[in-house]
Structures are given as structure tokens and as C-alpha cells.
Amino acid sequence: MLPERDILAAAASATALAVAAVHGTFASTSSFWGKVIWRARDRTNPWVSLTFDDGPTAGSTDRVLDLLGKLGVEATFFVIGQNVARWPNLVRRMDAEGHIVANHTFDHGHFDMFRGWKYWQEQVARTNRLIEDLIGKKPAFFRPSMGFKTAPIHHAARGAGQTVVTWSRSARDGLSAEATAILRRMTRVTGPGDILLMHDGVDPCLRRARDRDRSATIRALGQLIGALHDRGLRAVRLDQLLGCAAYAGDTGIQARVRPAECQRGSHRDVCDQ
């Protein structure tokens, strides 16, 4: 029989591992289950990147694209496969106007992080096929639903040659929000290298009408870009911020200064394509 102190030590180790696994699953910045990019490692340039989740959705995505076009800003759209199938012309428009189209799962299920290997392989592959059929390019960036990550999710993304990208600053506008709150959360705390999360589209799993309203995001977006500009920050595409290709086999990386993580090859599945 094990001594009591050994039993206590084993229990403490198991508890610590369980806590780390939970944190690794739900914390957007954690690399517990696999490599995650949540902010540019090289923050010498005064750049940030706007990313939008849950699109495309008719009405809200159109308005976001209109505003970005008016302001001359290119962004990255992490799209849900279900919404891509419903509004394919919006995905074509994103690409035609110089934005990145990236993978944000097919179903965006709120509890799907507990699903297994085959399920996640299909979630990633199915959305990739839809995007590639529409714009002729396979995404190299993947963002899991709500930023939740597990070993099967990372395995599926890695098998598809994609890098998991989350965020460092969130507008928390996926549910109902006020424009003033969005600006307060995003403006003052944002600095060089930050990846900003906002929502242009509507999660197909949301049911409450008020959570499907993106008008606050749209009202805040122009003011946010202006406020960042006033602070000397420029919003650029995610591939420029990270120095990594946005699509499989893409050699036309926008970045002219290669960040440290790419120089060292720590993201070789994307950066060394």
C-alpha cells in the first residue's frame, strides 16, 4: 500500500493536470493541446489585425464589408460552413475585396469540443472544401468554435495543414452588446501585434433575436478603426501581421517583415509553404 504522502502527491498532480487541461480547452491563448497563435510575436510594427467570426450573414456581413471598403481596411473573416453554403456570394465578395477567408468549423456547435477525431476532421475538411470551391483557395488559418480547443481539434487542423489562430482582444459582441461597451473593451487596451475579435455574422446555434443583432458591432467598427489610427495603429490583414500565408501553397505573403516566429520556423505548417 502506498504511503499517505505518495497518495496525496499523486492526487495533487492529477488535480493540477486536470486544471491545466480545463484551462487549455477554454482559454483562447492556451497552447496546452497544441500550438495556438493569439498575437503576433513580433510587435515592432504598429500593426493590429481585425478578425470577424460567424459569417457570412446577409445584412450584417454586407454592412461590415461596405464599411471596411469605405475605410480602405482589409480584414480576416473566419466563416462557418453552414453560413457559407447559405450565402456563397458574400464569401466571393470577401475574397474579391481583398479580405482573407478562413475556416471557423462547419456547424459551430457549442458543445462540440467534446466530439472525437472523425467529427473534427469532417468539420474542418467540409468547410475547407466549400471555401475552396468558391474562391479557388484552401484556407491556412483555422479558428475553433468560441476558441475552445482539444486534442482532436488540433489534430484535425494540423492534418489539414492549418494553423490555429485565436485572439488577444475580444469585443465580446457574439451575444447582445452595446457599441460603447465594444469601444471601451477594444480601444485603449489594444497595442501592436494584437489580433482583434469581432462578429460580422450570426452563429447558427443562437436562438434569441437580440443575440443575432450585429448593429452594435457595425456602429462601433468605424469609430474603433478611427481610434486605433489616432493612436498610431494600423489595421492589416492577418497574413501581414503574422508573416504567414493565408492559403495553402500561397507564396504571395503580404508581409514584408518576417516575424520572429516565422523566422524560427515555429509555424512551419503555414509559414514555410
Catalytic residues: 53, 199
Half-sphere exposure of 230 (CA within 13 A, CB side): 8
Phi, psi of 50 (to 5 degrees): -85, 125
User: Angle at Cα 87 formed by Cα 84 and Cα 90, nearest 5°?
Assistant: 90
Task: Report d(CA 138, CA 25) in Å as an integer.
Answer: 26
Is the peptide bond preceding residue 56 cis, with omega within 30 degrees of 0?
A: yes
Task: Report d(CA 130, CA 128) in Å as an integer.
Answer: 5
Nearest to 99 by CA among 43, 52, 46, 138: 52
Cell of 218: 457595425
